[in-house]
Amino acid sequence: MRALIVAIACAGVLATSGVSLAAQISSPTIYGTFDQVLAECSVWNGGTAAQAVTVKLVSEFGDTIGPMTCAGGVGANDFCSLVTQIDNSTAYACVVTAGSVVNMRAGLVFHKHVQDNNGILVLHPIRFAPLR
C-alpha cells in the first residue's frame, strides 16, 4: 500500500513538472583583444521542430550575463542571439542549453569598433569560437 502511494505521488510530481532543458553545448573561454567591446553568442536550430533554448555568457571570473531565453523557442531553421557589451580585459565563454543539441549549431564572436572610410564606427569581428 505504501509503495502504491509513493508511486502515485511520484507520478503526480512528474505530470505537473515541465520538460527540463537537459543538453548543453559551450565554447571554450576565449579573449579577443583590448579592443573588444561586444560579444555575440548565436545559436541556430537545424532540426525540424522548435526547441526552448537559453543562452548565457560566463566570464573567466564566473560572472554570468544572462541567461536569456529565446522568445517562443527557436524554430526549425531559425536562430537566436545574445548580444551584449563586454569588458575589454576579460575572457568569456558561451553556453547554450536546450532539450537536445543534436541539430544545434552555435558560435561566439567578439567584435571591436572600427572607423569606415566615412568616419562612422562599425563593428568588426575579431575572434570566433564554435560551441561543441
Bridge partners of 84?
39
For residue range 49-86, what is the model confidence (pLDDT) as tens digits?
A: 999 999 999 999 999 999 999 888 899 999 999 999 99
pLDDT reported for residue 36: 96
Cα–Cα dist 103/43, whole Å = 10
Please list the residues that pair with 78 across neighbouring strands: 45
18, pLDDT greater than 50: no
Under DSSP, the state recorded for 99 is S
At 20, the pLDDT band (50, 70, 90 cuts) reads low
The closest of 93, 106, 96 to 30, measured between CA atoms, is: 93
Q: Which CATH number fits domain 20-130: 2.60.290, 1.10.3470, 1.20.120, 3.40.720?
A: 2.60.290
**Domain residue spans of the chain:** 20-130
